[in-house]
């Protein structure tokens, strides 16, 4: 039974109890939100994971993407990325591997973390089709659904599935003036299949069958945004919005079946359009949890896209996005290193915290209060413990130490807090 079906029947699962306690949300309210589809708990029935709630009234969550490519296959490196992502606060991990033995890589990642694991099954489908037939477009429906079911059996907790790309939406895209067309890798696989074979998207055409598979294992579907804009010039256009309308219809079908569902959002949006994008999604998709990549708010900062995405992520979270997919400094340039993964997680955690503070989340404000009191008391160890990256903070303080133990070397003996305490507060 899925978490949603249990909630609809009025049942409280152990995962709901854990999340209610951690998030400090009323248990009955949590159950209702899950029953209505406003919150999801990605947890496959075949895998023991740390329960994570994503959606209305909860803290903004952060996902870290890892995975191999045809140019670099190193399972140990991906395991290290997994551990680093978890260490610095990622709530979920997505394995986006496209090189090497994907099943072996996925298994290794799942064995080295208790965080929920997500995948994009069409990547494995495309890899198998290319190896077997020579071309991605020669994949067939049986292969697609066999891979999805295989990954579900293995214990994958949530899957990005590009169900909203259709023959009609591709025709509309062809008539548009988009600069970058389709930038979604999974979306491009399915679009190419549709055009080459003159067939409808199997995931859209057989959506009920897809839901039957996901329901059996309680895999949360993340409805992928295959028509997302890949640059600011393409943001919020007809192709993007048409796909979103289709996804909104599919959300309703997920809820009717009792399958947990969230919706993915665009990656490149200027600051002034972020609020509109969030509001449209929440309206069209009836408050389904919204999972956004970034969004990246300027395209001219390669090497710093973790920052451009964190700026957008903070605003998106404030306006109602529930789940931020991190972006690393390597975005658009190369496969991320372990250090890139760390930086991506840290800056996205900062964005999530900023959004939660602005939304009035009690847990976020408790952390802010703890830090303020630690600074007031010059309790450096407490500050490092509260900090998102306390190790870096401690290292930087020690690099240029102050002669005044309680102060830092910016002010030293002229520390404003020390002077105030000595003169004003005595």
- Mean pLDDT within 156-182: 95
What CATH number matches the domain at 3-360, 2.10.25.10, 3.40.50.300, 3.30.420.40, 3.20.20.540? 3.20.20.540
Give residue 403's pLDDT: 85
Give residue 415's pLDDT: 85
Angle at 54 between CA 224 and CA 35, to 5 degrees: 95
SS3 412: helix
- Mean pLDDT within 326-332: 97
Handedness of CA 136, 101, 161, 239 (dihedral sign): negative
Report the alpha-carbon distance of residue 93 to residue 108 in Å, rounded: 13
- Mean pLDDT within 326-335: 97
Q: Under a CB-based contact definition with an 8 Å cutoff, are residues 15 and 190 in contact?
A: no
Give residue 237's pLDDT: 95
Does 331 or 412 have the greater pLDDT score? 331
Label residue 424 by pLDDT band (50, 70, 90).
low
Give residue 416's pLDDT: 85
Q: Under a CB-based contact definition with an 8 Å cutoff, are residues 260 and 220 in contact?
A: yes
Q: What tokens were used for 258?
A: 């009792």
Whether 425 shows a pLDDT value over 70: the answer reads no
Give residue 404's pLDDT: 84
Q: Under a CB-based contact definition with an 8 Å cutoff, are residues 184 and 190 in contact?
A: no
Q: What is the pTM of this model?
A: 0.96
CB atoms within 10 A of CB 165: 30
Label residue 407 by pLDDT band (50, 70, 90).
confident
SS3 252: helix
Q: What tokens were used for 9?
A: 């029947």
Report the alpha-carbon distance of residue 130 to residue 405 in Å, rounded: 63
Strands 39-40, 54-55: parallel, antiparallel or unpaired by DSSP?
A: antiparallel
Report the alpha-carbon distance of residue 229 to residue 1 in Å, rounded: 36
- Mean pLDDT within 139-168: 97
Whether 422 shows a pLDDT value over 80: the answer reads no
- Mean pLDDT within 229-252: 96
Q: pLDDT tens for residues 68-117?
A: 999 999 999 999 999 999 999 999 999 999 999 999 999 999 999 999 99
- Structural domain spans, the chain: 3-360, 364-424
Give residue 128's pLDDT: 98
Handedness of CA 7, 12, 13, 17 (dihedral sign): positive
Q: pLDDT tens for residues 386-402?
A: 999 999 999 999 999 98
Lowest mean pLDDT segment, chosen from 34-38, 59-63, 390-394, 418-422: 418-422
**268-303: buried (b, 16+ CB within 10 Å) or exposed (e) per residue?**
bbbeebbeebbebbbebbebbbbbbbbbbbebebee
Whether 426 shows a pLDDT value over 70: the answer reads no
Half-sphere exposure of 150 (CA within 13 A, CB side): 16
């Amino acid at each position: 039974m899925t978490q949603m079906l249990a909630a609809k029947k009025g049942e409280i699962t152990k995962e709901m109890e854990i999340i209610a306690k951690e998030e400090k949300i009323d248990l009955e309210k949590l159950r209702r939100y899950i029953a209505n589809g406003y919150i999801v708990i990605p947890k496959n029935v075949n895998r023991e994971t740390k329960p994570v709630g994503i959606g209305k009234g909860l803290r903004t969550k952060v996902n870290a993407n890892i995975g191999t490519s045809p140019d670099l296959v190193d399972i140990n490196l991906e395991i290290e990325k997994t551990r680093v992502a978890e260490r610095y606060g990622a709530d979920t991990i997505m394995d986006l591997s496209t090189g090497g033995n994907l099943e072996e890589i996925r298994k290794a990642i799942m064995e080295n973390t208790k965080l929920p694991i997500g995948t994009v099954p069409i990547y494995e489908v495309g890899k198998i089709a290319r190896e077997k037939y020579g071309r991605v477009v020669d994949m067939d429906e049986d292969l697609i659904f066999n891979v999805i079911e295989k990954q579900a059996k293995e214990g994958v907790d949530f899957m990005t599935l590009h169900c909203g790309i259709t023959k009609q939406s591709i025709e509309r895209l062809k008539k548009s003036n988009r600069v970058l067309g389709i930038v979604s890798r999974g979306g491009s696989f399915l679009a190419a299949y549709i055009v080459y074979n003159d067939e409808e998207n199997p995931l859209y055409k057989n959506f009920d069958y897809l839901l039957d598979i996901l329901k059996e294992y309680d895999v949360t579907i993340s409805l992928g945004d295959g028509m997302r804009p890949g640059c600011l010039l393409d943001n919020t256009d007809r192709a993007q919005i048409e796909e979103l309308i289709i996804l909104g219809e599919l959300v309703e079908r997920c809820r009717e079946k009792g399958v947990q569902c969230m919706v993915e959002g665009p990656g490149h949006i200027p600051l002034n359009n972020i609020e509109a994008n969030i509001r449209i999604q929440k309206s069209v998709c009836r408050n389904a949890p919204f999972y956004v990549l970034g969004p990246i708010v300027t395209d001219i900062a390669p090497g710093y896209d973790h920052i451009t995405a964190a700026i957008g992520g903070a605003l998106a979270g404030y306006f109602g996005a529930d789940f931020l997919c991190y972006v690393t400094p390597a975005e658009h340039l190369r496969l991320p290193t372990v250090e890139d993964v760390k930086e991506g997680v840290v800056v996205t955690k900062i964005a999530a915290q900023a959004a939660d503070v602005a939304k009035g989340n009690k847990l976020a404000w408790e952390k802010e209060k703890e830090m303020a009191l630690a600074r007031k008391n010059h309790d450096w160890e407490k500050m490092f413990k509260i900090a998102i990256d306390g190790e870096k903070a401690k290292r930087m303080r020690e690099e240029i130490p102050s002669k005044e133990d309680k102060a830092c070397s910016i002010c030293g003996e002229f520390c404003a807090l020390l002077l105030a305490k000595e003169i004003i507060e005595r």
